[in-house]
């Protein structure tokens, strides 16, 4: 099942989501690797199995095994990092921010695909998970790689619609 097919199951009150996912999947501002990697990482972050399955189907047809793995890895590592770093940022006791994380994050240094694309997936998942510190860190790396703000915005738009579809379908199940 494709994302468009999945979106057809949305109720009429969520028609905008149906239209948005169709538009976003047809946009050309993101490369296929950026678009479908972001889609998959975002679906995984949304945690709704039918949305994940639809995103997997879309992504498998467009991405290399390495890019599929990187998208999954971005969702996994950001699930951990977003909680850890958001805690340090939000805690009143700033001593936590001074302590080393002592968490393995090797995938960030060697994602198996272009660093900028992995950072884009990570930023999208960080936006979903609400970690401003991680958003800023990934956005800084993207700037260093010359990624335009329009590309970042397109990825976050795709992430927001993907997760909105997941939440809406979960609510009506």
- Catalytic positions: 131, 134
**160 touches 126 (CB < 8 A):** no
Query: Hey, what are 5's tokens?
Result: 């097919």
Buried b / exposed e along 101-113 (16+ C-beta atoms within 10 A) = eeeeeebbeebeb
For residue 133, count other CB atoms closer than 10 A to its CB.
18
Residue 89 neighbours by CB under 8 Å, 6+ apart: 97, 131, 132, 133
């Amino acid at each position: 099942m494709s994302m468009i097919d999945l979106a057809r199951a949305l109720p009429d009150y969520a028609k905008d989501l149906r239209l948005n996912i169709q538009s976003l999947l047809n946009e050309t501002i993101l490369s296929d690797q950026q678009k479908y990697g972001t889609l998959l990482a975002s679906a995984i972050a949304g945690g709704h199995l039918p949305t994940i399955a639809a995103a997997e189907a879309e992504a498998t047809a467009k991405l290399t095994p390495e890019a599929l793995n990187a998208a999954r890895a971005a969702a996994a590592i950001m699930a951990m990092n977003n909680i850890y770093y958001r805690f340090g940022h939000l805690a009143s006791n700033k001593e936590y921010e001074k302590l080393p994380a002592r968490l393995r994050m090797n995938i960030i240094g060697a994602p198996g695909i272009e660093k900028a694309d992995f950072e884009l997936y990570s930023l999208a998942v960080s936006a979903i998970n609400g970690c401003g510190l991680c958003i800023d860190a990934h956005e800084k790396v993207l700037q260093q790689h010359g990624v335009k703000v329009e590309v970042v915005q397109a990825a976050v738009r795709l992430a927001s619609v993907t997760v909105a579809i997941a939440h809406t379908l979960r609510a009506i199940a």
